[in-house]
Structure 1
Amino acid sequence: MKAIAITGAAKGASNIDLLTDIELPRPVAHGHDLLVEVKAISVNPVDTKVRAGFAGETPRILGWDAVGVVVATGEDVTLFTPGDKIWYAGALTRPGSNSEFQLVDERIAALKPKTLDNASAAALPLTAITAWEMLFDRLGVQENGNEGDVLLIVGAAGGVGSILTQLARRLTKLTVIGTASRPESQQWVKERGAHHVIDHTKPLAEELARIGIKEVSHVASLTNTEDHYQQLIAALKPQGKLALIDDPDTLDARPLKVKCISLHWEFMFTRSMFEIEDMLEQHRLLTRVASLIDQGELKTTLGEHFGEINAQNLRRAHERLETQRAVGKIVLEGFSAR
């Protein structure tokens, strides 16, 4: 099968050229695994982070978002049959989706939305799981609840922010504030449903005051948490909640004490990495999101389509993500004919 893999162990941003087109044997499904023929993928910041820090055994296939067709199942599979069109984000500890065929555990996959094409659907699984878990599991927001509360989403124009904004607006009674710094990204956030959009390159207190908001009850910090940390603490009301997904070099929790602010980490790979007892929740979550899309409640977060799945286009996607100026998700689709 065709695949794009890291073929060397050089660390750092310069190793982008080590993403290479290769041929590998087709894997075989056992247990709860589905063998999937990959049709479309999207690229996430986790791809660039793993690539830049990689120093393990090669070749290493990256990629944690896919839409594909089930071609074979393991002996313990009960949720799917060959021919099913599915979507998933996969597991960090297994070969990724940058290949013609991939194994994925059935408990973290679901039937793809019927109303989306493969590319539009591939933009969503990892970010939808992250956003859903952050909003409902980590921050403890209730569906159809939290009237009077205010959610501030830092970095709302990115992949996670784009779906988090929609989930919060469609499924809760929160007032949703998204941050974005450029006219095109601010417009994107407005179109995803944010009540207000503010500029995170300006003092947050001033930006919140401009829209008549004194304090917020919940913060989802999706990028550059270190740069905004003290401002976020100042903006949060006593007993507020702060959740993040990025990787600050340091994070001193002591300033949270005086306001009794709770700190929450979201990492969507935890369930699959440790195979914890509620792994099936990601299957249910993706099934629910697919239903919401087919009902017209949510829409794709596809931002740019980079063409076929090959090393050249994947390198371009990694380069684009590393500028931190991408709006929405970058998607690749299909392998060239042999």
Structure 2
Amino acid sequence: MRIAVIDLGTNTCNLLVAQLENGGYKILHQSKQLVKLGDDKIKENEISKEATQRTIDSFCAHGKIIEELEVDYVKVIATSAVRTAENKIPFLEKLGESNGWLVKLVSGEREAELIFKGVLLAFGSLSDPSVILDIGGGSNEIILAHNKTVVWKESRPTGMARIINKFKLSDPIEASEVEGLQNYFAEQHVAAIQNCKQKLVETLIGCSGAFDTVVDLIDGVDPGEKSRIKQEVTLDDFYTVYKTLLKSTREERMQMKGMDYVRVDLIVPAVILIECLVAEIGIKKIVQTDFALREGVLFEKMQKLAKV
């Protein structure tokens, strides 16, 4: 069976195509389209006409790939920006009319659950208590897990598209703005920090998105050039990238080897969030993985097929 998973996020619309056979999987294709559902209308909890058209165009592009690869099953999931949009019903209707796919709108809790299952597909099991962080455009999912079990989870509407619309950041960012974001993130994620401290969590698992960009910058490779099921990031390497990004202008970031153009405006507040959690919790090890929500859907499909 060939399965396609489309993850309609706040910033990008992501496609994963995999072949399932003999209880395992092989990834055939991964790509993304910039949709920017989190443009300036996100402050009004609305999806703009322009963002709607970008999404329809992205579905069209993904649809061609899905047809070429002769996919048997398509699952489409929408997350934070659509969850909070007051015009989500007409938006979803237009998407349905564009190609006939049923778009499943998932809750923050369900999104966190799928991200955890994606991490399980990559890691198998988490031998140490770990905190999983997925930084999105609309929301951040934080999952405290041990072995194959979720201990605690949250989804907060503090994604980076919302942040750059809420806080007008200088170029380069100023020290007072960094401090303001640190305080904001610590307040917004206080429950996550407290739970991680209680469980003596020392490992942070970073899923996709901003973490991909951080490791691409560390490795000096172009976005998408290197696939990673899991890759450890030393705190020294993280802080080197962190300090470089905080000093950088937007133009300088555009020139950095490894910088994804879709993340050039979002990466600075994203690494401030990562550093905030590292410092507040007392993280000693960071592990990056490409696996997240889409791979979680894949994991669930594999489990269902195994029971048949």
Give the TM-score taking structure 2 as reference length. Answer: 0.32
Comparing both structures, which one devotes a greater share of its residues to helix? Answer: 2
